[in-house]
Structures are given as structure tokens and as C-alpha cells.
Amino acid sequence: MYFDYANVLVFLAVGIGFVFFNMALGALVRPSLPTPEQKTPYECGEDPIGDAWVNFDIRYYTVALVYIVFGVEIAFLFPWAVVLKSAFADGRIGGMAFVEGVLFVGVLFLGLAYVWAKGDLDWVKSYSAKAYRPSPTPTPGFRAFPDPAAAPPVVTGPPAAVESSTRPAAPVGAGAAPSHGTPRS
């Protein structure tokens, strides 16, 4: 059995060695003409702005926390799954083992349901939509658009020309369309 894990160690060592062997082989031929520009981080052709090691979104932390719960769950479920069938077949455990498994999964599913209900599984959280409530006191001069209090506009036939003292009647005809600049002839 120790042979097995020694084998794995050798596999890891060979993998690492393969990388460095290839790098050394390439070093014989590959050019190396570094310039200060070449050493700058790639930011789509711009000069890099600020540090690359920026503060990170808290949502990734939540994902990691949720994962820990389930990672542990899988680690516990693996031995249960392996022995369940054979142990049940030769009578070492009864149906209770299955019930226990269901309970274990059920408790963790409760945890998932809790996180789900709290909204921590949502990547995009619409805080702004939840936080916005119209103020109970009306703002002076504020009118919602479209105004919910106003009656819906009634459309009856073509609109008549509006006679107004401040605004001339809407011009009729194609020739009166406002033209920007001088039209080319």
C-alpha cells in the first residue's frame, strides 16, 4: 500500500520535472529580448492603473463558506456510500443506516435551504430594488411619470390642431419639416 503512494509521489515529481526540463530545453534556443515595456502587465494596451492585487468581492467568500459545508458533507458521505450496500446485504446494519443517511443529507439540505432563503446563493443581489420605497410624504413638485393618478389618455381619431397663443399650430406638409443646415443641391 505504501508502494501506491510512493508511486503517486514519483508521478508528482515527474510532472514537476517535465515542466522544468522543457523550460531548460527551450532556454537553449528561445530568444530573450526583454524591454521595460514588455515587462509591464497587459491591460489591453494601456498603462496599468494601480496595483493588480485589488480588494476582492465578498461574494467569493460566501461561495467558499458554502462550499466548506458541502465539502465536509461529501467527505462524510463517501465512506457511508461505500459500505452501505455490502453491510446491509450481510445484515451488519439495518434500514437505520439508510435513515441516518437521509437525516444527514436532510440536515445539510436544511442548511442549503437557509442559505438559499437568505439570498446568499444569488450572485446578483438586487439591493437597490429592495431598498427603494416611495416616500409616504409627497415631495412637492414631484410627479411620477407616467402619473398613476392621472386618467389614461383617451385617443379619439386624429388630433385636432391645437390652438394656442404660445405655440403655433403644428405645420402640415412635407416642405415645412425643419431642415438642419443647407440642403445640397
Partner 1 sequence: MGLLEHRLDENVLTTRIDWLINWARLSSIWPMTFGLACCAIEMMAVGAAHHDMDRFGAGAFRATPRQADLMIVAGTVNFKMAERVKRLYEQMPSPKYVIAMGACATGGGPYYKYGYNVVKGVDRVVPVDVYVAGCPPRPEALLEGLMKLQDKIRRSAVLRKPGLPEGALFVPAPS
Partner 2 sequence: MGLLPAPLLAATLLGAPLLVAGGQQGNFVTDLVAKLSPVEIPWPLLVLIGALLGSGFFLLLVFITPYAMLAIWAERKVGGHIQCRIGPKRVGPFGLLQSIADAIKLLVKEDTIPAGADKLLFVFAPALVLASAIAMFAAVPFAPDVWFTDLNLGVFFIVAISSLTTIGVIMAGWSSANKWSLYGAMRMAASVISYEVPLGISLLVPVLVSGTFSLREAALAQEGWGGAAWYLFRDPFVLPAFLLFYTASLAETKRAPFDLPEAESELVAGFHTEYSGMRFSFFFLEEYAAMFVVSAIGALYFLGGWAFPGLTPLVEHLFGRGWIFNAVAIGVFSAKALFLVFVMMWLRWTLPRIRIDQVMTLGYKYLTPLSLACLLGAAAWELYVVPLFGGGG
d(CA 98, CA 85): 10
Q: Which residues of 28-39 are buried (b: 16+ CB within 10 A; e: fewer)?
A: eeeeeeeeeeee
DSSP state of 45: T
d(CA 106, CA 109): 5
Q: Which of 37, 51, 147, 163 binds partner 1 (CB under 8 A)?
A: 37
Instruction: Tell me whether residue 53 or residue 145 sits nearer to partner 2 (CB atom).
Output: 53
d(CA 79, CA 100): 13
Q: Which of 2, 42, 60, 132 binds partner 1 (CB under 8 A)?
A: 42
- Non-local CB neighbours of 160 within 8 Å, separated by 6+ positions: none
Instruction: Tell me whether residue 4 or residue 163 sits nearer to partner 2 (CB atom).
Output: 4
Of the candidate spans 32-40, 86-94, 122-130, 149-157, the one that interacts with partner 1 by CB under 8 A turns out to be: 32-40
Cβ 40 to partner 1 shortest distance, Å:
7
d(CA 170, CA 163): 9
What is the pattern of x (binds partner 1, CB under 8 A) and - over residues 66-95?
A: ------------------------------
Q: Choose among partner 1, partner 2, none what residue 90 binds, the Cβ cut-off being 5 to 8 Å by kind.
A: none
Number of residues that bind partner 1 (CB under 8 A): 15
